[in-house]
A = this chain, B = another copy of it.
């Protein structure tokens, strides 16, 4: 039971924690400091705002600032930045409303999120060069596209943001060039997914430049060209989406320990090395369900779940934040691609496993039923134990089937057990053997034989 619960950062983790703590223990003073004006917003929806499928940026806000204040009784202070934490004195230093002040806390949650990585490119400050990591930036991109109707767009980075923005800017009429330093897009999804996605991106008219490093942007005031090693291409707008890094400096400066990933180290309750200081969301590590080791996978569900658990814990009813499997899904034009667990064989070996994998393609519906699509499923398992380590799927429908694999990972099942799962079948929904089962069957056979 705490008297004052202070939360630094008003997005998914912070607001989930604040709401839950106040609901569970209305006597607690819950204060949230958010340096911007937007709270509890769906960053994942921003590409669809740019694409034009969502009319109003406000639609991406799950709960408004006023609702937090008036309905949930959270003392939410937007435009207030926490600039220092003193874990010994149990205070934070806050700048906001034209003043700087100290705020004491009994329990503290660091939920400072992550920021888009800005690579050392020339011309990053030209007009028309954007990272997409907050709502104001999404708004700025949409305005820029509406005002200038760019004929050419450069997307730097073939991760989620890059793929989603390729779709968005294509829909807005731009000729899209996507530049990826690595040999494949969507690196965490593995090659089997990447190859299907790349073929589809090309079919959709995206100019893919793999194994291609961008050095910067040129232009007079506004971006006009994207510069590569030996050449340059026209680009009337550029989106840089090369990953995110945890906003962990505030914590680190206060003596709060970071993990090897560079994010704040936490225990199963989201606690840092200070017992009454928690961290959650994109700035914090979480434990991986397959390796049991800390990992940094900044995604929305992890943030929401950890925030909620910490809210409950500070209200006096301790609740673990849960483990992660690194489950992710992304729409690439008409495809869905998804991943969970450990997909990369090298990473599996580093974690002490001896990985065996298979990829199969199978229809999403009975072969005779109209409208199905081909789903490519990859599963990875440990040779000796048969333990399932991870998987991916990609196809025009059925990407949500990754949840079957994620659930199996969470439960720690073997490939044989997954193969024997009694999944649903009717011709409009699946073949008799769901593609996940077919993949498990093939992998199980491979484990048997080797």
Interface size on A, residues (CB 8 A): 70
* Binary B-proximity of A382-426 (CB < 8 A = 1, otherwise 0): 000000000000000011111110111111110001101111111
When each residue 408-450 of chain A gets 1 if its CB lies under 8 Å from chain B and 0 otherwise, what string results? 1111110001101111111111101110110000000000000
Nearest B-chain residue to A324, judged by Cβ = B422
Return A139 CB to nearest CB of chain B, in Å: 15
Report the Cα distance A434→B410, complex, angstroms.
15
Give the residues in chain B near A410, CB-CB below 8 Å: 413, 417-418, 420-422
- Are B42 and A366 in touch, CB under 8 angstroms? yes
**In the bound complex, what is the Cα–Cα distance between A54 and B59 (angstroms)?**
42
Flag A301-339 by CB within 8 Å of B: 1 or 0 each: 110110000000000000010111111111100001010
Asked whether A430 lies within 8 Å of B369 as measured between CB atoms, the reply is no
Nearest CB in chain B to that of A364: its residue: B400
User: Whole-angstrom distance between the alpha carbons of A274 and B92 in the complex?
Assistant: 76
The answer to whether the Cβ of A343 comes within 8 Å of any Cβ in the partner chain is no
Q: How far is the CA of A104 from the CA of B299 in the complex (A)?
A: 63
Query: Which listed residue (B44, B399, B433) contacts A301, Cβ 8 A?
Result: B433
Q: CB-nearest residue of chain B relative to A297?
A: B422
A60 nearest CB neighbor, chain B only? B368
CB 8 Å contact bits of A77-93 with B (1 = contact, 0 = none): 00000000000000000
Complex Cα distance, B400 from A406, in Å, reads 15
A42–B368 CB distance below 8 A: yes
Whether A421 lies near B407 (C-beta < 8 A) is yes
CA distance A96 to B370 in the complex (A): 38
Decide if A424 touches B331 in the complex (CB within 8 Å).
Answer: no
A340 at the interface (CB under 8 A from B): yes
Q: Which residues of B contact A42 (CB under 8 A)?
A: 366, 368, 427, 432
Name A's B-contacting residues (CB within 8 A).
Answer: 12, 42, 44-45, 48, 53-54, 59-60, 62, 160, 289, 299-302, 304-305, 320, 322-331, 336, 338, 340, 366-370, 398-404, 406-413, 417-418, 420-430, 432-434, 436-437
Would you give 18 A-B contacts (Cβ < 8 Å), ordered by A?
A44-B366, A45-B366, A48-B428, A54-B368, A304-B432, A325-B421, A326-B422, A327-B425, A328-B424, A330-B426, A340-B422, A400-B400, A400-B401, A402-B424, A406-B422, A407-B418, A407-B423, A411-B413
